Structure 1
Amino acid sequence: MSVVERAKDEPPSGPLLYEVIRSLWPLHRTVVRAVERELAGTGMTAGQHAVMNELHRGGPRTVPQLARLLGLDRQPVQRLVNDATALGLAESTPNPEHRRSHLIRLTPAGAAAIRGIQEAEEAELRRRLSDLTTGDVRTALHVLQRLGEEFRDLAQDAPPHPTDRGEDAR
């Protein structure tokens, strides 16, 4: 067995896993800044882009469904939906399954806008990351999904932080 094959079979070290986790926050902020730069002049924010991306990918959703998908609280997602609606990119429609929780869907203008943005982003990603293989990207996606699963579990199992209960954090 070669060193490379053996390394693939061994579980990763704690410091290596921690380095992956530690790099996520700066990566997230950098991606948001890059998206904001690409959206300049569209009137759209990175948050609205994320909401519209989910609507484009999965069809009409309620605000609570969008919030769960994005890992955000309902109130900020409602504001993002309201802003996208004001821009004519999304609209609220009756929900046949729930009278009070409307479905949010893209307008034709919103669908065209997000489609154009995604096509430009995908072309730029392919150009900038042409050194990666499909296997590299699949592995990265697998690792990120596993981290997401485990941290969702940790977040649900964790006792509330003292500041979450309005107590002094000392």
Structure 2
Amino acid sequence: MKVTLVQGDLTEQQADAIVNAANSSLLGGGGVDGAIHRRGGPEILEACRKLRAGHYGGGLPTGRAVATTAGLLPARWVIHTVGPVYSGSQDRSELLASCHHESLRVADSLGARTVAFPAISTGVYGWPLDDAARIAVAAVRAAETSVEEVRFVLFDAAAYDAFLTRLSA
């Protein structure tokens, strides 16, 4: 599997699937989640409402992933995953790694060959960038998947540099 980095906007990526750093409600929010819902249009929200009306009535658990249409985005699917909130007193790194493993598992079930990830949990959830990059890169490299390309799409230079350092290690 090829792992690449791009500094830019996740919602502009042409990929089979883009990963949404969602909140457990699946009904949109801020950051990456809000941008995906705004740019993708109402089809994504409608698909998420159907998930909430069915199997995910209580919300999507942290570390799990589920797919919907990508609506108006230049991708086929959005894979929603709920990252953990960072804690200095509790090790939640397995949950962050699970977001990547589960997203790739869902991508495999869809037949996706290219998947674009954001820096999950590094925004409002407060995960330190260097540590999130370490966990994300290790999780993707360890995954058994048919995905041919994982692309980390980083919003700014600091995130890009953190992921580049880990990818080069």
TM range (shorter): under 0.3
Structure with greater strand share of residues: 2
Rg comparison, structure with higher value: 1
With CA pairs under 8 Å and 6+ residues apart, which has the higher RCO, 1 or 2? 2
Structure with greater helix share of residues: 1
- The TM-score, its normalising length taken from structure 2, stands at 0.26
- The TM-score, its normalising length taken from structure 1, stands at 0.26
